[in-house]
């Protein structure tokens, strides 16, 4: 296990945004956000292009000042108290801050030197599969290698909280898996993480809490399973002999459920499909002396929920 966290007895949340607003040229990029990242929590911020994710993260990092509302990171103001905060947080900069000619190993050692108790840079490069690139100049690293180096720079100082803006954008499947494992290790070590992503499987895999924003506002939040279940009508499908009389099934189902024969021998029950509903339907089949085959429960995926909430039209 990675031992990253520097023990902190602070009780402040990792991040607390209250009524935060920021606009550019009179248009709100972030429009009254309230978000809390608890200590040790991994929170994923999801949203279509231009939803305000990066602006939100940049306000937490102290790079952008909010127009109104309050931003507190580990209980501190990220702009007014940035000197106190900086050694305690990790920021993943997209190619930012790198001298194109400096070598990967040198860069990480330099960042590590700012920290009182850094991780061993060589070990970290090894963990991230960058051991062969130690002497490679930054500009010669592949996009995926630059991305992993940025992640290494963000965590080498054993931060209490890490901000990751699209940490796996442009990575191949192997590198993505490696970064996922690293983020999971951060969580196990009690590090708080605020990440943005466009990948639903990434959010589902990594995050304890998901916040979907659009036009700078929260449109939904919760765990992945809460979001996929919320108010969702599901479908239970099964095959059986054609022409069954479904009146007696409708009588035993709760009133908000319906049952239809969609095509000859193809039946569907519509409603929130919970375990008890399966029991009702299969017991009813048994009473009819009917063997239901090809039983299938259609579950909403996070992607379906995301598109329902944020629409399907392309953002410009
Ligand atoms: P993406 O998924 O495309 O990265 P995002 O959710 O991170 O998008 P932001 O980058 O926060 O969205 O942008 C939110 C809105 O604010 C967009 O309309 C963007 O054009 C605008 N914006 C962001 N930064 C600036 C800036 N420095 N100047 C002017 N407009 C900006």
Q: What is the tens place of the pLDDT at every residue in 77-108?
A: 999 999 999 999 999 876 556 666 789 899 99
Nearest alpha carbon to residue 17 among 53, 47, 49, 48: 53
Residue with tokens 């993505």: 176
Instruction: Quote the number of domains for the chain.
Output: 2
Are residue 85 and residue 41 in the same domain, yes or no?
yes
Question: How many Å lie between the centroid of ligand 1 and the Cα of residue 56?
Answer: 10
Best probe residue, ligand 1, of 48, 54, 165 (max atoms within 8 Å of C-beta)? 54
52 C-alpha to center of ligand 1: Å?
6
Q: How far is the CA of 81 from the centre of ligand 1 (A)?
A: 25
CATH at residue 224 = 3.40.50.300
Q: Which domain holds residue 253?
A: 233-299
More confident residue, 49 or 102: 49
Length of the chain: 316
Confidence at residue 3, expressed as pLDDT on a 0 to 100 scale: 47
Asked whether residue 7 is assigned to any structural domain, the reply reads no
Name which of 102-111, 186-195, 280-289 the model is least confident about: 102-111
134 and 182 share a domain? yes
Give the residue whose CA is nearest to atom 31 of ligand 1: 24
Tokens matching residue 81: 């108290």
Measured in Å, residue 58 CA sits from the centre of ligand 1 at 11
Judge if 165 and 270 occupy the same domain. no
Q: Which of 30-39, 171-180, 187-196 has the lowest mean pLDDT?
A: 171-180
Is residue 158 within 8 Å of residue 117, measured between CB atoms? yes
Please check whether residue 8 lies inside any domain of the structure: no
- Chain center to CA of 71: 20
128-164: per-residue pLDDT in tens? 999 998 999 988 999 889 889 999 999 999 999 999 9
**Claim to verify: residue 218 and residue 242 sit in the same structural domain:** no
* Helices assigned H by DSSP within the chain: 53-61, 82-85, 104-113, 121-127, 143-155, 173-188, 200-206, 224-229, 247-252, 275-287, 302-310
Ligand 1 centroid – CA 72 distance (Å): 21
Residue whose CA is at the smallest distance from ligand 1 atom 25? 24
To the question of pTM greater than 0.85 for the whole model, the response is no
The two tokens of residue 206 are 């990594």
CA of 140 to the centre of ligand 1 (A): 29
**Atom 24 of ligand 1, nearest CA residue:** 55
The token duo for 63 is 């790079």
Ligand 1 binding residues, C-beta < 6 A:
24, 29, 47, 49-55
157 and 237 in a single domain? The answer is no
Sign of the dihedral defined by the CA atoms of residues 30, 31, 32, 35, in that order:
negative
| Ligand 1 center–CA 45 separation, angstroms | 14
Ligand 1 mutation target, pool 20, 24, 60, most atoms within 8 A of CB = 24
């Amino acid at each position: 296990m990675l031992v990253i966290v520097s023990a902190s007895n602070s009780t402040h949340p990792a991040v607390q945004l209250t009524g935060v607003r920021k606009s550019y040229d009179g248009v709100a990029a972030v429009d009254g956000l309230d978000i809390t990242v608890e200590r040790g929590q991994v929170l994923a911020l999801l949203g279509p292009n231009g939803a305000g994710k990066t602006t939100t993260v940049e306000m937490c990092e102290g790079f952008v000042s909010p127009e109104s509302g309050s931003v507190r990171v580990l209980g501190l103001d990220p702009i007014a108290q940035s000197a106190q905060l900086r050694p305690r947080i990790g920021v993943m900069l997209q190619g930012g801050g790198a001298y194109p000619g400096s070598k990967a190993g040198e860069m990480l050692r330099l960042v590590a030197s700012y920290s009182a108790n850094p991780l061993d840079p060589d070990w970290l490069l090894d963990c991230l599969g960058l051991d062969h690139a130690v002497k490679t100049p930054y500009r010669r690293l592949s996009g995926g290698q630059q991305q992993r180096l940025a992640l290494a720079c963000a965590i080498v100082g054993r931060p209490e909280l890490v901000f990751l803006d699209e940490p796996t954008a442009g990575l191949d499947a192997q590198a993505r898996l490696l970064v996922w494992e690293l983020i999971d290790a951060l969580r196990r070590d009690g590090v708080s993480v605020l990440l943005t992503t466009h990948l639903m499987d990434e959010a589902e895999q990594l995050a304890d809490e998901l916040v979907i924003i659009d036009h700078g506002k929260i449109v939904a939040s919760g765990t992945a399973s809460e979001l996929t279940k919320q108010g969702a009508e599901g479908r239970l499908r099964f095959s059986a002999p054609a022409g069954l009389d479904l009146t007696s099934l409708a009588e035993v189902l709760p009133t908000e459920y319906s049952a239809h024969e969609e095509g000859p021998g193809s039946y569907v029950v519509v409603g929130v499909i919970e375990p008890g509903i399966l029991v009702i339907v299969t017991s009813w089949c048994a009473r009819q002396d009917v063997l239901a085959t090809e039983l299938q429960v259609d579950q909403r995926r996070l992607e379906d929920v995301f598109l329902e909430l944020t629409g399907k039209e392309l953002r410009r």
